[in-house]
Amino acid sequence: MNWNDIKNRLKLRACEILVETNAISFGSFTLTSGKKSPFYIDMRLIPSFPNLFNEVCDMYVKLIKNEITEVHRIAGVPTAGLPFATLVSHKLGLPLIYVRKEQKAHGREKMVEGILEQGNKVVIIDDLITTGGSIVKSVKNIREQGGIVEDVVVFLDREQGGSKNLSKIGVRLHNILQITELIEYLYKRNILDKETYSECIRYINEEKET
């Protein structure tokens, strides 16, 4: 079985896991970016299901092994992305680093925690991406400390400009699942009614155009 076939199976299972954990909700939500959204994906719930959490992290591992050629460090983005990055780094046998939200006001006053050596190739892991603002900041912080960042891996891409914003700074985005694929899955299995489905697709398409 080739990687495309494997990845399609992973996408299907990813949808199932989000449903099993009730990680997707519908209504009116304000995102970290300030944008409004008719749906919300809460990946913070996943680690509360140990077996499914392990399965999700195996998905990250498979994607990294098949799509990224060289990795020296795994970097987590606090807070939601850090549990996933921690287990993925353990499974890959690679050192973990993470980028702080704010600079420490004491000690070494570092933004990047852990051991990062000059020229290390770092893969950043996060739970999902919207516009990519926080990830862009993490890329810049790691690069300022001598790390090389060319790849970011997320479980879900909300398709709201994150990939485009990362490409502007020379970073490739890898995702296990896209929001359109999830919405289509939910609709085809009658988990989502037609009205909500249409609202979500319209919202996604409008966000793609902005």
Q: Spell out the per-residue pLDDT of the chain, length 210, in tens.
A: 899 999 999 999 999 999 999 999 999 999 877 778 999 999 999 999 999 999 999 999 999 999 999 999 999 998 899 999 999 999 999 999 999 876 555 545 689 999 999 999 999 999 999 999 999 999 999 999 999 999 999 999 999 999 999 999 999 999 999 999 999 999 999 999 999 999 999 999 998 866
* Ordered structural domains, the chain, with CATH: 3-209 (3.40.50.2020)
C-alpha 57/C-alpha 111 separation (Å) is 25
Q: Are 91 and 61 in contact (CB under 8 A)?
A: yes
